[in-house]
Amino acid sequence: MHIEMFRVFCDLADLRSFSRTAEKHFVSQSAISQQLAQLETAHKCQLINRKKRPIELTKSGRLLYSAAKDMLERYDHFKNELSTLKTSTGSRINVGAIFSIGMHTLPDYVKKLMVSHPNVNVHIEYFSAAKIYELVLAGQIDIGLVAVPKKDKRLDVYDFEDEPLVVACSPKHPLAHEPRIDIHRLQFEKFIAFEKNVPTRHWIDGILERYNVAVRCVTEFDNIETVKRAVEIDAGISILPQTAMLQELAAGTIKAVPFSNEKFVRPTGIIVRKGKILGQAGRYFIELLQKRTR
């Protein structure tokens, strides 16, 4: 029986709609009904309770759904492995990274990979963290790099770099002349924050809450580059990874002042879908990102 028939059945079970399943597979509802009828005839049982709205699986249907899911996963695993074998001499690694990591941290690692694997093309795109998780799980990118990685049973998560967090301020700001800053000095300061759906925002909020420090959030942005621009014009201060400000620090447009309380860091991580087949270059790249080959 054709493997795609099981894929259609699983989508029908997940979507619980003939019309939506038909749209997903670019066929008519009649074609979906015919494929379901073929499955029921082949297995001599009813798989879908058509009287329910939305439709529901019968006991036999649930049994087939579980088996089909397993077969599809194994088949997709086989296709990935076969594709890896075909491209062993020269391949492409699709990487999705949040902007700060992709722009400021990743380039040195890519250069090292290119020295050892000159035939490998590393394609890097910048996305929000939420989009990276989505694309990794969908198999559309091979490796994701995010800040404050979250655990997910569908993902393998590896530690990347811990980025030192510092106070970022304009050279005109009074705090710019301090050698170190007690975090309590930030109390009620005008603050440039990340938007609430950005993982780094939750991480920094947690640090401030732990020290019982309240800042005045004057504006929020979804990316670090815009936060830096606001800091440069002295619209407020912020807490940012020092590694993402090297260019501004060299140019003198932003001052980075470390904390005196403790060494605050922002954890970053590498995410790969569980069961993802990576070629030799992909595996080496992950090891390189983990600094095992340094």
DSSP-derived 3-state class of residue 129: helix
User: What pLDDT, on the 0 to 100 scale, is given for residue 276?
Assistant: 84
Residue 279: per-residue pLDDT = 76
Q: Which residues pair with 237 in a beta bridge?
A: 191
pLDDT number for residue 91: 73
Q: What pairing do the DSSP bridges indicate for beta strands 155-169 and 255-257? A: antiparallel
Q: Do both 30 and 119 map to the same domain?
A: no
Map tokens 């447009």 to a residue.
253
Out of 58, 86, 114, pick the residue that ends a domain: 86
CB 231 within 8 A of CB 141: no
Write the pLDDT tens digit of every residue in 114-145: 888 888 889 999 999 999 999 999 989 999 99
Whether residue 230 is contained in a domain is answered as yes
Q: Residue 147 falls within a domain, yes or no? A: yes
The CA-atom distances, in angstroms, between 118 and each of 73, 92, 114, 242, 294 are 32, 11, 5, 31, 18
- Tell me how far apart the alpha carbons of residues 135 and 132 are, in angstroms, rounded to a whole number: 5
**Given phi > 0 = left and psi -120 to 50 = alpha, else beta, which region is 36?**
alpha
- pLDDT of 86: 58
Its pTM stands at 0.67
Q: Are 152 and 186 in the same domain?
A: no
The pLDDT value given to residue 293? 40
Q: What is the CATH number of the domain that holds 185?
A: 3.40.190.290
Residue 226 lies in a domain: yes
Number of domains in the chain: 3
**Minimal CA–CA distance to 48: which of 62, 38, 35, 34?**
62
Q: Indicate whether 13 belongs to any domain.
A: yes
CATH number of the domain to which 76 belongs: 1.10.10.10
Together in a domain, 150 and 279: yes
Q: Does residue 224 fall inside a structural domain?
A: yes
Assigned domain for 70 exists: yes
* Domain assignment of residue 277, given as a range: 92-156+269-289
Q: What is the CATH number of the domain that holds 97?
A: 3.40.190.10
Residues 13, 55 contacting (CB under 8 angstroms): no
Between CA 264 and CA 95 the distance in angstroms is 27
Cα gap 224→129, rounded to integer Å? 13
How many C-beta atoms lie closer than 10 Å to residue 150's C-beta?
12
Enumerate residue ranges in the chain where pLDDT < 50. Answer: 89, 292-294
For residue 73, the model assigns a pLDDT of: 87
Cα(94)–Cα(142) distance, rounded to whole angstroms?
Answer: 5
199: its two tokens: 């993982």
Q: List the structure tokens of 147.
A: 């800040």
Q: Where among 62, 86, 110 does a domain terminate? A: 86
